[in-house]
Structure formats: structure tokens, C-alpha cells
Structure 1
Amino acid sequence: MVSREEALMQMINNEDYEAVCVLLKNKVNINYQNNVGVTPLLCATEKGNYRITKLLLDHGADCNGRGRLTEFHYSMGIPRHERVLEWTPLINAALYGHPDIVKLLIENGADINFRDINGRSALNTALQQSMQKCAEILIRNGAEVTPLEIATAKFTCPHLDIRKLLVERERVKKSETKNRNLSLHPAARCGNREELRELIKKGADINRQDKEGNSALHVALENGKLDCAEFLIKKGADVNIKGKNKSTPLHVAAFLGLTKIIPCLVEQGAIIDAKGDDDITPLHFAVFHSFPLCVKQLLDYGASVNAMFAGGKTALHVAVSKSSDCIELLLKENADIFAKDDLGVCPLELSIELGYDAFRKLIPGNYKILSEDGTTPFHIAAHCCRIDCLQKMIEDGCDVNIKTNCGDTPLHFACKGGVALSAVFHELPEEDSQNVEMLVQAGADIHTQNVLGMSPIHVCAKNGLVAPMRALLKAGAEINSQGGDKKQTPLHYAAESGSLTCIKYLVEKGADKLAVNSDSFTALMLAARNNHFSCVKFLLQIDVPLWIP
């Protein structure tokens, strides 16, 4: 049974264009070699069939694919010591004298200077076979001319003046270089499409970059000349070229909200998540400038909704901080409200800090949404000490004793203090116990322990927070309760973390100064062990002994 590849070779030999078209629509190895080392493209170039050659190239045939040394080559009448090895389609076309195919192969990227094992190039082959037109095309397109080629031409192509062709090639090369240096930028800036057309026709480099690194496509987009931008794209402008600030044309379109041109850029291969300076993507720009239609387009084309730029921020961080209309679009694509930036702040915390309205925009009705570690919006609200958000959530029936995977309740979070957000807003918030008081009044369990065995008062002491501790003691928390894997009291935690204010408050309220943990360490010993000298000094001043007998 004849394979598809064998049938393809047969149809090319028969020069049956329609049959070749049909076969190429099926799964066929277009670079197949038969038992005598011939590929479909080698066969077509030997036949000199321009239409079939072009068809094969359009379907991905390798224009530099090499044939094998086989019995096929003997039939060419080449002497035994000159057996052909690894001839390419270009050498083949030159051998059989098909100038139109030589030109076609060069246009499709054929290696014009490839030489076989005997050192013969396409030009050398054309000269040996007296194929003057093929030789002229090869020379004009930059084929390497050695003394061997010049000597060969004298005998085989006496009418071919190679030196004259070389001079002409240099002249054309200089002219092309001059034309490539023509700038398209002024025409792109002014929106002069006809001038762009003429300049490109003269050979202007469509991707030439100005001193800032911007191409004509960048300039056309920056100036809102969308018809010129579309024209440049259709003419082959690089849609991923990086200009000023490493911005691609898609960055510029997103920055300016140019929704009409984005499909054109993406369809021509624009990288949707291309990164500019600081790893900024087009989506970040569109969100920053609040272009919801542009944001939707980019998301529909597959933009990464949780991609991070400088500082570990996502598009949702940006949208929340600007109270943007893009928030809902991002959430629909599963933007992570718990994604922490380099300061440990997530979009949810930002929204809470901005107040209840911003918070509700981010969480329209699902307070029970969980992060990977089981944290809920209620925990975050308690941590940020936003009383308006906390009050509304309590009124809406949130469980005040809901636990994370680590067993922390909102009360545990309230006792940690809003350290992360204070870093973001460059201010140190005053200690506040309103969130603790509100949670306690709503029924929060002040004795519940997390998986580390720590109750809220231990968390307060560890974080050096007196105001929440005062509220907990007032509500009935045990001042000498033991917690954690080492069975430590609040005084132990305060001494270990070096919080002199907490130590003084606990001592004033009657904390046991001589209590020991499971390692038999007192608060004084822990303070000394951790080099908290001010704490050591205070405890010694109130006659706490260095050692317990």
C-alpha cells in the first residue's frame, strides 16, 4: 500500500498541483525522504515547478533540508569522485537552471552560501552548469564570490561579468542601508499613512527604534494614530519590540486604553503578559488607569490576573487602592484577595483600611471566603482594627469564634496588632482595644487556644500590646494562664519579646514574677537569654531573684 508521503512524491513528479493540494491537507510528513534520499521540495525544484515549490514552502517545507548520498545521485551522471552529498533545494534549483525558484527559495530563507561536502555552493553549481541567470540572482542576493567562482565563470559563462555584478551589489546594498535609515517616526506621529507606505516601499526599516528605544508602532500608538498603527502591524511591524521602559506596543495600548487596537496586536502575536520595567504587564497599566473595557479585553485574551510587579503587588492591589471599577472584573477571573505583597499586605487588608465601602466592593456578600490557611475577611477586619467593617460583619451574623487552620480566632488576630498596614501607610497606629472589646461583647471566647496552645492574652503579650491585654483582663482572662508548647505565662512572652511596657503592666496587675515554664525558666531568665537588658534591669530592681532554688 502506498503511503501518503509516497503518493505526494508521485504527484509532484507528475506535476499534479491539485492532487498535491489535497494530500497536503491531510497529515503528511512534508520533509519526508524517500529511499533514494529525495524530499518533496528537492523533487519540485528539480522539476522546476514554481507553483508546487511555493505550495510546499507555504506548508512548512524546510528550504534548507538536505538530501542524502544515494544511488539517485549516480543517475545524474556525476563522476564517482564528485558524488553529491547533502544538496539543498537551492543547489538543486541552480543545477537545473530555474531562476524563479532560486529567487523564491532565497526569499524563504534558503542558506545562500551553504556548501556541500565537495565545497560547492549554489553559485558554484550555477556557474559550472552555465546557468547565468541563476548566478546573477545569487550574486545580487549576497552569494559569496571566491576566486574559484570567478575562474569558473570565465570558462562556463564568458558573458557574465562577475566583477561588475559585485560593484552593482555594493551600490544596491548602500542604497538599501540608506533607505533602511529613513525614519518612519515623524509620519507615524502625524498619522500620515501614505507617507508611511512610501517610506516602507523605499526600504525604510519598519522596526527602527529612536534614541528612546521606541519604534514607529510605539509612536503611532502613543499619539492615538490607530489607522497608522494598524497599517504598520499589517506591514509586519514587530508587535513585541520593547521600547522606553521596556514597554511593548501592547503596554502602550493598555496604558492609554486603546481598546480598538488590542485585538489587532494580540492576533499578530503580542505577548499578553509581556513584562516592562518593574515587571509591569499591560493588565497592570489598564487597571492603574481604570480602563475596565481594556481590562476585560486583556483578561479575555488570557492575561494572568495574579501576575506580580514591583513590591509583589498584583492588579487587585492596584484596583483596591484606587477604588477602581475594575475590581469586579478581576474577581470574576479569580483574582486572589489574600495575595500578600512584599510587606505582607493583601488586597483584602487594603480594602478594609480604606473603609467599609471599599471592603464591600471587594467582598460583595461572601464573608466566609477562605484563604489557603483558612483566614476569613472577619479575621482580617479584626486584625486591621476597622471598627466600621467589624461592626457590620458582626451585625450580619459572622461567627466571632471562627478558626483558621492554625486555630486562630478573630480575637487572636485582633491581639496581633495592625503591624503590616502601619508599614504600608508609614505611620505607627496608637494601641487600640476597640476591636477586642467589640469581639468580647459579641461573644468571642477569651480562653480559646490555637494549635500552639496560645490564648489571646498570650498573643497580646508576645506582640507587646497593653491596651488589648487590659481589655482581656477586664473581661476575665487569667493573668497567669499557661500557654504554648513551653507552658509560658503572659509575663514569659513579654520578657521573651522584650516588651518592657507589657512587663511593667503585668507586674502591676499581680502577675507571678517567679513562675517558671516547662524549661524551668522565669521571665527574668528569658529576658537575659534574649539580651533584653532594660527588661532585666527592671526585673532586678523589683527584687526578682536570678535563680529559683
Structure 2
Amino acid sequence: LTFLAADSDQHCDITHFCVTHLLDSWADRSPLHDAAFQGRLLSLKTLIAQGFNVNLLTTDRVSALHEACLGGHVACAKVLLENGAQVNAATIDGVTPLFNACCSGSAACVSMLLECGAKARLGSHLPSPMHEAVKRGHRECMETLLAHEVDIDQEDPQHGTPLYMACTYQRTECVKKLLELGANVNVGKGLDTPLHAAARKSSVEIVVLLTDYGADPKCRNADLKCALDLATPHSKVEQALLLREGPASLAQLCRLCIRRHLGRSCLGTVPKLHLPEPLENFLLHRSV
């Protein structure tokens, strides 16, 4: 449970259901749950052969598949699924095996669950596997979900869009990939944009990334503040935002216009245009 308790400063977050409910329901866990949680494949197979129900639930509706995915034990999860485990089973908190796989950072579990019919989200009011993957910086899990047509701009009422969450938790690699794949750079949480979140966290690299992809530094949130208003005075973030206060360069305006016209097909379309390599790299934000 150590890694589950790592976000102690986020004590109200849904991800902490794991610690609370696993401890509360420990008494009614079956040997099947224990084997799945510990990744003991041989024991798991033996218990199933002895007639243990793979869909047996604790009082909090935690299944053995939940346990296997929480531990990132892909072989155990596969055996459970092959023996009829419910891929979209939800706990009393609405947490699914897919959510747990994103929590553990197991892209292999995520991929297998999706191939077996796992839904990326059972309802807008329930925990989002996509947001959990981004929050923890599990980029491979995030990319796997996006490859299965999960909405890249899916806005969670509590956490905003995946890009907003990536900026809030300073997950730079996730920010890069989301922008590369066409995430809307100005959509965050209500009127708060990803740039607002990055400015609050003093993430100068993320601020530069967002503005390079067309983030509007003049956007104001519900408190009528722009990103510059939220930056720490005399910080590198403030300097970066001040440098971007004036009009964008013609080259930047052209890049934004072309990318906006191509939309999310940009990654696949630009290489087919047979442009000079420096120009292709510029349009795709590739470092030379």
C-alpha cells in the first residue's frame, strides 16, 4: 500500500479509496483476493481450479481483478478475465479495474482490459482512469487510453481536462504528449486554463510549452485573473509570460494557423506534405 499513500497532501482525493477500503474490508477478503493482490499466479490458478468464484466481492465490492490491476499483475489479471471476471466491475466508490491499472501505471494491464471490453469511464460522476493516469505521470497508460479513442479533452468537474491536470501536477511529459496529440490548449477547468495552472505551479517549462502551442496569456478566469497575475513576482514564469505579452512572430502565427487548420490529424498529415525537414520539424514542435 506504500505507493497508494504517497499523495498524502491530496487526502480528499478519490484515489485514497484504496487504502481506506482495503483496510476496512480486509477481514472479508478471500484467498483469491490475496493471491491476485500479491501476484501469486500459481496460487490463483489453483484456487480457481478448486472452484473459487472469480467474481467474489468484498463488502466494498472489490473484486480479485481490482486487486490484480492495482498491483499491476498482468498475468493474474489475464487468468481472471479468461475465467469470467467482470471487466467493468465497480466498487462502491465507482472504481473499476481499469482505474486501478492506471493507478499502478501498468500499460499492459490497461491495454488488456480495453481489449477485453473495459469502458474508459462508466459515468461522468465516477473516477476517471484517464485523469488518474495523467495525475500520476503514467504517460504510457495515458497514450494507451487515447489510442482507444478516449476523449483527449474530457473535462472532469473536479479535475478539469487531462491537460489541465497534467499542468496542475507538473507532469511535463504528459503535457508534451497531450499537446502533440491535439489537446485544446485553452480548455482547462471552467474558466481556468492550463496556463493558469502552470503559472500557479511556477512551471516555466510547461508555460513555454503551452504558449508555443498557442495558449492565450490574456484569458481570464472566474476571478478575472490572467496567468501573469498568478505568477510569482520576479520569477522565471513571470519573465516567460512577459516575453509573450506582445504580438506573436509571423512564424509562430503561421505554425498555429496551419496546425489549427489540420486539427488533430496534424501528426499524421504533416509528414505526408513532403516539406523540407526543418519546416516539418518546426510544424511538429520537434527539437533539432
Shift of 1:240: 0.5
Counterpart of 1:383 in structure 2: which amino acid? C
Counterpart of 2:39 in structure 1: which amino acid? G
Shift of 1:192: 3.2
* Distance change (3 Å), C-alpha of 1:191 and 1:390: closer
Q: Contact 1:182–1:199 at 8 Å: present in 2 too?
A: no
User: SS of the counterpart of 1:261?
Assistant: helix
Please give the alpha-carbon distance, in whole angstroms, between the structure 1 residues aligned to 2:147 and 2:210: 21
Q: Which residue of 2 aligns with 1:194?
A: 42
Q: Could you tell me which of 87, 95, 108 is aligned with 1:260? A: 108
Matches within 5 A, 1:450-529: none
Q: Could you tell me which of 138, 142, 145 is aligned with 1:298? A: 145
Shift of 1:291: 1.0
User: SS of the counterpart of 2:107?
Assistant: coil
Identity of aligned residues (%): 24
Q: Contact 2:186–2:216 at 8 Å: present in 1 too?
A: no
Shift of 1:395: 6.5
Q: Deviations over 1:87-140 (max 9, x none)?
A: xxxxxxxxxxxxxxxxxxxxxxxxxxxxxxxxxxxxxxxxxxxxxxxxxxxxxx
Structure exhibiting the larger radius of gyration computed from Cα positions? 1
Q: Contact 1:280–1:310 at 8 Å: present in 2 too?
A: no
Q: Which residue of 2 aligns with 1:377?
A: 216
* Distance change (3 Å), C-alpha of 1:212 and 1:392: same
Q: Which residue of 1 aligns with 2:243?
A: 392
Q: Deviations over 1:149-185 (max 9, x none)?
A: xxxxxxxxxxxxxxxxxxxxxxxxxxxxxxxx97521
* Distance change (3 Å), C-alpha of 1:377 and 1:229: same
Shift of 1:244: 5.2
Of structures 1 and 2, the one scoring higher in RCO (CA 8 A, sep 6+) is 2
User: SS of the counterpart of 1:213?
Assistant: coil
Shift of 1:263: 1.8
Please give the alpha-carbon distance, in whole angstroms, between the structure 2 residues aligned to 1:391 and 1:198: 64
Q: Deviations over 1:447-490 (max 9, x none)?
A: xxxxxxxxxxxxxxxxxxxxxxxxxxxxxxxxxxxxxxxxxxxx
Please give the alpha-carbon distance, in whole angstroms, between the structure 2 residues aligned to 1:312 and 1:218: 23
Q: Contact 1:207–1:237 at 8 Å: present in 2 too?
A: yes
2:134 is the alignment partner of 1:284: no
Please give the alpha-carbon distance, in whole angstroms, between the structure 2 residues aligned to 1:197 and 1:183: 12
Q: Contact 2:157–2:189 at 8 Å: present in 1 too?
A: no
Counterpart of 1:228 in structure 2: which amino acid? C
Q: Could you tell me which of 54, 60, 68 is aligned with 1:212? A: 60
* Distance change (3 Å), C-alpha of 1:312 and 1:320: closer
Please give the alpha-carbon distance, in whole angstroms, between the structure 2 residues aligned to 1:288 and 1:355: 15
Q: Which residue of 1 aligns with 2:80?
A: 232
Q: Contact 1:273–1:304 at 8 Å: present in 2 too?
A: no
Please give the alpha-carbon distance, in whole angstroms, between the structure 1 residues aligned to 2:120 and 2:183: 17
Q: Could you tell me which of 242, 263, 281 is aligned with 2:90? A: 242
Q: TM-score, normalised by structure 1?
A: 0.35
User: SS of the counterpart of 2:121?
Assistant: coil
Q: Which residue of 2 aligns with 1:320?
A: 167
Q: Deviations over 1:13-43 (max 9, x none)?
A: xxxxxxxxxxxxxxxxxxxxxxxxxxxxxxx
Matches within 5 A, 1:10-409: 184-243=32-91, 245-275=93-123, 278-311=125-158, 313-324=160-171, 325-342=173-190, 344-353=191-200, 354=202, 356-363=204-211, 365-366=212-213, 369=214, 377-380=216-219, 383-385=226-228, 387-394=238-245, 397=248
* Distance change (3 Å), C-alpha of 1:193 and 1:213: same
- Taking only aligned residues, the RMSD between alpha carbons, in angstroms, comes to 2.9
Shift of 1:339: 1.9
* Distance change (3 Å), C-alpha of 1:384 and 1:222: closer
Shift of 1:195: 3.2
Counterpart of 2:216 in structure 1: which amino acid? P
Please give the alpha-carbon distance, in whole angstroms, between the structure 2 residues aligned to 1:357 and 1:224: 31
* Distance change (3 Å), C-alpha of 1:195 and 1:338: same
* Distance change (3 Å), C-alpha of 1:215 and 1:396: same
Q: Contact 1:182–1:205 at 8 Å: present in 2 too?
A: no
* Distance change (3 Å), C-alpha of 1:271 and 1:298: same
Structure 2, unpaired ranges of 5+:
1-28, 232-237, 251-288
* Distance change (3 Å), C-alpha of 1:345 and 1:395: closer
Name whichever of 184-193 and 291-300 sits farther off.
184-193
Please give the alpha-carbon distance, in whole angstroms, between the structure 2 residues aligned to 1:340 and 1:263: 27
Matched residue pairs, number?
209
User: SS of the counterpart of 2:146?
Assistant: helix
Counterpart of 1:225 in structure 2: which amino acid? H
Q: Deviations over 1:352-402 (max 9, x none)?
A: 443543311223x34xx4xxxxxx614239933355234312567569xxx
Structure 1, unpaired ranges of 5+:
1-180, 370-375, 400-549
Please give the alpha-carbon distance, in whole angstroms, between the structure 1 residues aligned to 2:193 and 2:159: 10
Q: Which residue of 2 aligns with 1:452?
A: none
Q: Contact 2:195–2:227 at 8 Å: present in 1 too?
A: no
Counterpart of 1:380 in structure 2: which amino acid? C
Shift of 1:340: 4.6
User: SS of the counterpart of 1:245?
Assistant: coil
Q: TM-score, normalised by structure 2?
A: 0.63
Please give the alpha-carbon distance, in whole angstroms, between the structure 2 residues aligned to 1:314 and 1:308: 4
Please give the alpha-carbon distance, in whole angstroms, between the structure 1 residues aligned to 2:149 and 2:61: 27
